[in-house]
């Protein structure tokens, strides 16, 4: 049923509408037709990423001050959701790339902007954010590996457990301890060229879902990184990650899982409308149980979308505040003193909610489609497996719930 | 006058603002935040009609004067709320961002100045 009235109460700007339509076109024309093969063969979505590059989506969040379109987190969320409806693997690669962009842009000097931001803006560079390490797992606020200063730069030896787009990224954003003597959150951020021969992706990514995003371990095995590839102050990486990467990271993941839920819903609705039982001569859509499931899926998706939009908007507001602290050189100390600020807890809650929604909706979508959806290759089956990654991606839902509980109860956080 | 809460220690709005001025000027982080941010912050109590203007110059709140700002509107930040709400805000008992969302406070300024005020409140009271 078409919308007779536009009562959403959410008016996008002209630019936001254009970006979303561009992403929808990429999803419809390129991502969706390749999604089944990407999933079946566990192949990196080269066609999808090429289309994303050509649509200039990689540079969406480069601020106007650096020559970019200045897309907001809300705009990024709209684009990611649209991509995820076509192919969740491509959307996740995009979301992880997007997580690097505001962080890089907040820290670059003029030379670094030319070196790192311009290729992102032109669509030449797809980024990977290599964070989690084997020692701390999904507790990504703790890094064990460290940089070693040497003539003209740094030696990086760091093993990262999961890095989306591993082996395919044009650059890696790598947080490690500033040196061997500092604490686990005294992080330096390095941009490492994807062509560095000392980057060693490990094995083959053979996940249950998100099978195309190449989330393999990667070993930066003695990468010699020029000094000018370190971003910002030596130990301020953690605070800048909290301010400029965590929001778009968690909103982006949430948008991705929202898109997965929507894709499962759309596939289920299409199926039940078209499936006619010979004994009754009526479609599955006339079955009351199916109608209830469809209604329930709609409720869950609407709740998730409202939450994602709200927290995305909140994050855009927070960015303005973080900019204020950054320009006053107060960001590092303010963030370190408030790592479980209620705003960060809102972000945590959003990711949990979106991931649980995607699992619940895709589960219901399979249920209404019946046995056909249990067969490998059905869209709802793929969505279910893709959705299942959500609660495990770092920080896992369980870790985030512990953080939320501690913040709400005033008890010590795991990093304290 | 308030009967309870941190603002209760003040007898009137002016006394509350004087205390705020002292906190403002002795906080190094605030002074970093308001570097090159010279403004007149006009506080208007909608129920009592009381109006005070705080003059921020050279990273310091120089003075508080009764009455409307005499400066250029471009550098004016105008806050409107009831007397009690203003005292709650300036004594650190009510987050100004929350007051704004609650419809208890009106702020007339450009967006950047609103963020600056929010940042100041955050570093003074950890809100």
Q: Give the tens place of pLDDT for each residue, A59-115.
A: 999 999 999 999 999 999 999 999 999 999 999 999 999 999 999 999 999 999 999
B106's enclosing H/E stretch is: strand B106-108
Q: Please tell me which of the candidates A321, A333, A337 has its beta carbon nearest to residue B115.
A: A321
What is the torsional sign of CA B64, B69, B74, B79?
positive
Tell me, yes or no, whether A415 lies in a domain. Answer: no
Give helix B111-125 / helix A288-327 axis angle, nearest 10°: 80
Tell me, yes or no, whether A394 lies in a domain. Answer: yes
Q: What is the pLDDT of residues B96-106, one digit of tens each?
A: 888 988 999 99
Classify burial at A411, counting beta carbons within 10 Å of its beta carbon; exposed 0-12, middle 13-18, buried 19 or more. exposed
The DSSP output letter for A27 is I
- For residue B3, what pLDDT band results from cuts at 50, 70 and 90? very low
Of the candidates A126, A148, A181, which is a domain's last residue? A126
Range of the domain at A271: 237-409
Indicate whether A264 and A398 sit together in one domain.
yes
**Residue B64 forms beta bridges with which residues?**
B54
Tell me, yes or no, whether A165 lies in a domain. Answer: yes
pLDDT of residue B124: 84
pLDDT of residue A154: 98
User: For chain A, how many structural domains are there in total?
Assistant: 3
Determine the 3-state secondary structure of A328 from DSSP: coil
Per-domain residue ranges for chain B? Answer: 6-121
Query: Rounded to whole angstroms, how far apart are CA atoms A53 and A47?
Result: 10
**Residue A287 forms beta bridges with which residues?**
none
Of the candidates A177, A199, A231, which is a domain's last residue? A231
Q: What is the pLDDT of residues A229-268, one digit of tens each?
A: 999 999 999 999 999 999 999 999 999 999 999 999 999 9
Query: Rounded to whole angstroms, how far apart are CA atoms A171 and A58?
Result: 13
pLDDT at B5 over 70: no
pLDDT of residue A3: 53
Indicate whether A351 and A292 sit together in one domain.
yes
**CA distances for A289 relative to A285, A364, A368, angstroms:** 9, 11, 8
Those residues with Cβ within 8 angstroms of residue A41's Cβ, 6 or more apart along the chain or in another chain: none
Question: Chain centroid to CA A370: how far?
Answer: 31
pLDDT of residue A179: 97
A328 contact residues in B (CB cutoff 8 A): 29, 32-33, 35, 119
Residue A158 near residue A190, CB atoms below 8 Å: no
Tell me, yes or no, whether A109 lies in a domain. Answer: yes
- CATH number, position A27: 1.10.540.10
Q: Which CATH number applies to B6-121: 3.50.50.60, 3.20.20.140, 3.30.1330.10, 3.30.1050.10?
A: 3.30.1050.10
Those residues with Cβ within 8 angstroms of residue A75's Cβ, 6 or more apart along the chain or in another chain: A15, A16, A19, A20, A60, A61
| ipTM exceeds 0.90, yes or no | no
**Residue A199 forms beta bridges with which residues?**
A220
Of the candidates A70, A95, A126, which is a domain's last residue? A126
Q: Test B115 with A324 for CB contact under 8 angstroms.
A: yes
pLDDT at A5 over 70: no
Tell me, yes or no, whether A252 lies in a domain. Answer: yes
Query: Rounded to whole angstroms, how far apart are CA atoms A58 and A120?
Result: 6
- CATH number, position A223: 2.40.110.10
The DSSP output letter for A13 is P
| Closest to A398 (Cα-Cα) out of A351, A340, A337, A365 | A351
Q: Test A321 with B29 for CB contact under 8 angstroms.
A: no
Q: Please tell me which of the candidates B32, B111, B118 has its beta carbon nearest to residue A330.
A: B32
pLDDT of residue B80: 97
Q: Test A329 with B32 for CB contact under 8 angstroms.
A: yes
User: Once rounded to an integer, what is the mean pLDDT over residues A45-66?
Assistant: 98
Query: Rounded to whole angstroms, how far apart are CA atoms A351 and B36?
Result: 39
- CATH number, position A254: 1.20.140.10
pLDDT of residue A46: 98
What is the torsional sign of CA A155, A238, A258, A360?
positive
Query: Rounded to whole angstroms, how far apart are CA atoms A199 and A128?
Result: 12
Indicate whether A386 and A324 sit together in one domain.
yes
Indicate whether A166 and A120 sit together in one domain.
no
The A-side interface with B (CB below 8 A) comprises 320-321, 324-325, 328-330, 333-334, 337-338
Indicate whether A288 and A382 sit together in one domain.
yes
pLDDT at A316 over 60: yes
Which of A243, A314, A316, A330 is most worth mutating to test chain B (most B CB atoms within 10 A of its CB)? Answer: A330
Q: Which residue of A has its CA nearest to B126?
A: A338
**Residue A193 forms beta bridges with which residues?**
A171
Query: Is the model more confident about A4 or about A64?
Result: A64
B51's enclosing H/E stretch is: strand B51-57
Distance from CA of A342 to the nearest CA of B (A): 10
Indicate whether A398 and A270 sit together in one domain.
yes
């Amino acid at each position: 049923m078409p919308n007779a009235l536009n009562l959403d109460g959410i008016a996008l700007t002209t630019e936001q509408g254009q970006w979303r339509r561009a992403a929808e076109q990429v999803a419809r024309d390129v991502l969706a037709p390749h999604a089944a093969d990407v999933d079946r063969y566990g192949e990196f979505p080269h066609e999808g990423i090429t289309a994303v590059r050509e649509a200039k989506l990689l540079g969406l969040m480069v601020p106007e001050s650096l020559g970019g379109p200045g897309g907001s987190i809300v705009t990024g969320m709209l684009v990611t959701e649209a991509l995820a409806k076509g192919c969740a693997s491509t959307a996740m690669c995009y979301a992880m790339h997007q997580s690097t962009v505001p962080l890089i842009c907040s820290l670059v000097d003029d030379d670094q902007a030319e070196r790192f931001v311009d290729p992102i803006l032109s669509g030449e560079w797809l980024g990977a954010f290599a964070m989690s390490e084997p020692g701390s797992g999904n507790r990504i606020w703790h890094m064990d590996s460290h940089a070693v200063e040497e003539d003209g730069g740094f030696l990086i030896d760091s093993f990262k457990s999961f890095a989306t787009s591993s082996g395919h990224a044009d650059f890696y954003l790598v947080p490690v301890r500033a040196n061997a003597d500092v604490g686990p959150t005294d992080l330096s951020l390095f941009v490492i060229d994807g062509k560095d021969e000392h980057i060693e992706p490990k094995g083959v990514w053979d996940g249950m879902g998100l099978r195309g995003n190449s989330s393999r371990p990667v070993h930066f095995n003695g990468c010699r990184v020029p000094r000018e590839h370190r971003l910002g102050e030596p130990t301020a990486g953690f605070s800048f990650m909290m301010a400029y990467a965590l929001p778009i990271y968690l909103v982006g993941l949430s948008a991705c899982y929202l898109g997965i839920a929507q894709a499962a819903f759309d596939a289920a609705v299409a199926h039940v409308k078209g499936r006619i039982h010979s004994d009754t001569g009526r479609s599955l859509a006339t079955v009351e149980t199916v109608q209830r499931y469809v209604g329930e899926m709609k409720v869950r998706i609407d709740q998730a979308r409202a939450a994602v939009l709200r927290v995305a908007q909140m994050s855009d507001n927070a960015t303005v505040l973080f900019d204020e602290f950054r320009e006053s050189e107060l960001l590092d100390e303010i963030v370190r003193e408030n790592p479980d600020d209620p705003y960060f807890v809102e972000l945590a809650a959003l990711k949990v909610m979106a991931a649980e929604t995607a699992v619940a909706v895709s589960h219901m979508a399979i249920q209404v489609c019946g046995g056909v959806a249990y067969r490998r290759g059905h869209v709802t089956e793929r969505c279910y497996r893709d959705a299942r990654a959500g609660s495990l991606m770092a920080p896992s839902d369980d870790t985030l719930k512990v953080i939320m509980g501690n913040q709400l109860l005033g008890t010590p956080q795991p990093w304290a | 006058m308030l009967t309870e809460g941190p603002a209760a220690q003040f007898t009137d709005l002016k006394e509350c603002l004087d205390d705020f001025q002292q906190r403002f000027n002795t906080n190094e982080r605030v002074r970093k935040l308001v570097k090159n941010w010279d403004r007149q912050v006009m506080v208007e109590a909608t129920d009592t009609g009381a109006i005070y203007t705080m003059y921020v110059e050279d990273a310091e709140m120089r003075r508080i004067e009764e009455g409307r700002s005499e400066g250029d509107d471009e550098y004016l930040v105008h806050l409107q709320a009831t007397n009690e709400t203003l005292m709650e805000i300036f004594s650190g008992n009510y987050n100004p961002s929350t007051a704004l969302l609650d419809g208890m406070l009106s702020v007339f300024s450009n967006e950047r100045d609103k963020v600056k005020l929010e940042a100041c409140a955050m570093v003074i009271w950890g809100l």
